Structure formats: structure tokens, C-alpha cells
């Protein structure tokens, strides 16, 4: 069985981090990522009694560090990152996440992150809009500076740079020894579900090590939770058998 899990999405008064955890645990998912891509989600996040027990059910737990705060990109380090640094560290410890993920294009001082997070530190390859981290040699530079850091392969991001997905082979040949898990999702303009974008199912061809956990980033709203079973079924079907040239359900 493939280790497919999902990232948590928006957090508000009605949809708390506990709500996401309970919803995912009912599906018996083997992996989860706490998606704090917006710092506001981190500030609104508070674990309730029993959440730690729920988290222990997931074999893989990762935490996505903030990318934006007040609709502006966060630099590391900066005054903005200082505002949530303590909360981020506490959440990492409370959740017992194995990894904390950063976007390499937002880092001005890699040693700063290394000193804070050590061997939990991971970086992902970036999409075609970013100035850094979208080609293999750039991430190799990061890992030369931080030999203990690991790699998250975002196959959606590879797709934005190479629709054929052929370059996934080069990424794995050069960084495969650093790979700890995948980010998966259809593109659909950003991050989407494959059941809504079956013509992009070839993105899954970038999964060259199917033994690794796969975190799906295509679900941002809890209103789409009813699609999860169908989405997982589609992914499993494709990974097992592939599709003819024209993908379909």
C-alpha cells in the first residue's frame, strides 16, 4: 500500500487543526503534513486534548513552515520570521513531526535554520515562478552547505518546469539519496486534485520511489474532504496500472 496522506489546509474558528486531524484519522491515512504555509494558520493553531494521541496514528508527520505572512513572502531570518519562531518550534515539538519543510528561495541564511532545526530540516524543489530552487544544481548547493538536510520532491513543481516530467529522473539521480518524502498534486493552476484534473495525471510519473510517503497538497478547504477517498483510489489505480494515453476515471 502506498503511503498517501494529505496536508492540512485553512484554519479558522470552525475548522481547527483538531478538526483536520480527526477528519484525516477517520480515513486511516498513514501520513500527514501540518500545512502552515501562511503564518496566520500557525497562530490560530492550538492542539486540543487528545490530538497528540491522534497524531501518533500517523507513521509520517511533517510540518510545512510559513511561506507568507500578511500576504507577503517571509524571509528567513527576518523580523517577520522572528514573530512566529517560538510558536513554530513549539508546534514542531508538540506534534513530534519528523521533518520541517522550508522553501529554499526564501532563505537568506541557511545556517540560521540549521541551528534551529538540525536533522529535521528539509527543502523542496520549487516551481517555475521562483528565482531559486527550480533546477537540480541549485538544491545541490543547499545540501553542500547543509549536508544533514534532506529533500522533498514536489512533482507538481517539476511539472511546472517540465510538462513531460522527464526531468524527474535527473532530480532522483542526483538527489535521490536525500529524498525523504514527496509532495503530490495536480496543477490546475496551482495545487489541485487529480479527480478534477485527470488530464494532468502524468504528474504522478515523477514518483520514482513509491516506497516514500506522499503528501497531497491539493486539498485546502475542509469542504472537499468528501473527495478524498475517490482521489486516493484514483492515485492508487494509476500507480498500480497506469492509464492509457488519455486519462480518465
Q: What is the pLDDT of residues 132-167, one digit of tens each?
A: 999 999 999 999 999 999 999 999 999 999 999 999
CATH 3.20.20.150 assigned to 4-239: yes
Which pLDDT does position 223 carry in this prediction?
67
Which pLDDT does position 56 carry in this prediction?
95
Give me the mean pLDDT over the 109-127 stretch.
Answer: 98
Residue pair 47/90 in contact by the 8 Å Cβ criterion: no
User: E strands, the chain, where?
Assistant: 4-7, 31-35, 60-64, 68-69, 72-73, 99-102, 121-124, 150-154, 179-184, 214-216
Name the nearest CA neighbour of 182 among 237, 122, 234, 241. Answer: 122
Q: 12 vs 142, which has greater pLDDT?
A: 142
Amino acid at each position: 500500500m502506498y503511503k498517501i496522506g494529505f496536508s492540512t489546509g485553512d484554519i479558522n474558528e470552525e475548522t481547527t487543526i483538531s478538526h483536520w486531524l480527526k477528519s484525516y484519522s477517520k480515513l486511516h491515512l498513514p501520513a500527514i503534513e501540518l500545512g502552515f504555509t501562511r503564518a496566520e494558520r500557525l497562530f490560530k493553531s492550538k492542539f486540543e486534548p487528545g490530538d497528540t494521541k491522534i497524531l501518533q496514528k500517523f507513521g509520517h508527520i511533517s510540518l510545512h513552515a510559513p511561506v507568507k505572512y500578511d500576504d507577503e513572502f517571509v524571509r528567513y531570518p527576518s523580523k517577520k520570521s522572528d514573530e512566529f519562531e517560538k510558536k513554530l518550534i513549539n508546534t514542531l515539538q508538540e506534534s513530534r513531526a519528523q521533518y520541517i519543510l522550508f522553501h529554499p528561495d526564501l532563505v537568506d541564511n541557511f545556517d540560521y535554520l540549521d541551528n534551529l532545526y538540525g536533522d529535521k530540516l528539509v527543502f523542496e524543489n520549487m516551481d517555475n515562478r521562483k528565482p531559486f530552487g527550480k533546477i537540480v544544481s541549485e538544491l545541490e548547493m543547499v545540501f553542500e552547505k547543509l549536508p544533514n538536510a534532506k529533500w522533498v520532491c514536489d512533482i507538481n513543481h517539476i511539472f511546472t518546469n517540465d510538462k513531460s516530467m522527464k526531468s524527474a529522473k535527473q532530480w532522483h539521480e542526483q538527489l535521490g539519496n536525500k529524498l525523504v518524502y514527496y509532495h503530490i498534486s495536480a496543477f490546475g493552476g496551482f495545487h489541485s486534485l487529480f479527480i478534477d484534473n485527470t488530464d494532468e495525471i502524468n504528474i504522478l510519473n515523477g514518483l520514482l520511489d513509491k516506497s516514500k510517503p506522499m503528501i497531497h497538497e491539493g486539498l485546502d478547504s475542509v469542504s472537499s474532504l468528501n473527495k478524498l477517498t475517490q482521489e486516493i483510489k484514483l492515485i492508487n489505480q494509476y500507480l498500480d496500472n497506469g492509464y492509457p494515453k488519455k486519462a480518465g476515471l
